[in-house]
Amino acid sequence: MSLLVAQELYRFFHVGDEEVKALHGVSLAVEAGEMIALVGPSGSGKTTLLMCLAGLDEPDGGTVRLLDAVMTRRPEIEKTRLRSKHLGVMRQKDNLFSHLTVIENVSLAQSLSGRAVAGGMLSVLGRIGMINRASFLPAQLSGGERARASLAVAMASAPRILLLDEPTGEVDLNTEEAILAILTEFRKHGGAVVVATHNLAVARIATVTLTMKDGKFLND
């Protein structure tokens, strides 16, 4: 059974009198051990697709199934429960609560899911080189440090699936290599990753690369 399945997703936005088709009949299946890289120009629908997969945005048509549960058109409290139990989500922005320290953000993610990774919070932060920033607020971090902290939050609850939006967008080369190693290890241990990226290094380690344009996959 696929871990995550999207069927015929449509998402429309209105800008003035113009209707923008952010997603146009997109279907996707994500298997255990798979890493799917979503590539394509800005505005092609990558972020919208991730947010619909995560249940953070509601598609105008189609369904998202997470393991054996339908995610779409459910009460928000049920979507939150499913997301906390199975998904780790990293958005480009606003992935951290500004009034909480790094370790408090990780702790909150763990408490919402009721689970924790082996070794606890310090293990999560240690893997991405953030132990010495554990007591820092997001505003005290560099762009690369915020990206690493956001990834720690996404991984804090030992999710089955990671949904990541530009995880290497603001990091230096050493941090990028560390993040890629973490994602490869996560996949090899049976986790699944869907990542929107402009970074060719990320696409190279993916098992599947899908190119989006105008809300569709190019091979559709």
In the predicted model, what is the mean pLDDT of residues 115-142?
Answer: 78
Q: Within a domain: residue 34?
A: yes
Split at pLDDT 50, 70, 90, the class of 67 is very high
CA distance 155 to 89: 8
In this prediction, residues 125-151 reach a mean pLDDT of 87
Q: Which residues constitute the domain of residue 139?
A: 4-214
**Domain total for the chain?**
1
∠ CA 21-79-193 to the nearest 5 degrees?
A: 70
Residue 67 lies in a domain: yes
Polymer length of the chain: 220
pLDDT tens by residue, 73-128: 999 999 988 998 899 999 987 789 999 999 899 888 887 766 655 556 667 787 77
| Number of helices (H), then strands (E), in the chain | 7, 10
Strand partners, 15: 18
Average pLDDT of span 203-211: 95
* Mean pLDDT in residue range 136-162: 89
CATH of the domain at 133: 3.40.50.300
| pLDDT given for residue 115 in this prediction | 61
Is residue 219 situated within a structural domain? no
Lowest mean pLDDT among 114-118, 126-130, 136-140, 212-216: 114-118
pTM exceeds 0.85, yes or no: yes
174-196 confidence digits (pLDDT tens): 888 888 998 999 999 999 999 99
Q: Is residue 220 part of a domain?
A: no
In sequence order, the β-bridge partners of residue 6 are: 28, 64
Query: Over the Cα atoms of the chain, what is R_g?
Result: 17
Q: Is residue 15 part of a domain?
A: yes
Question: Has residue 73 been placed in a domain?
Answer: yes
Report the pLDDT value the prediction gives residue 114, as an integer from 0 to 100.
Answer: 66
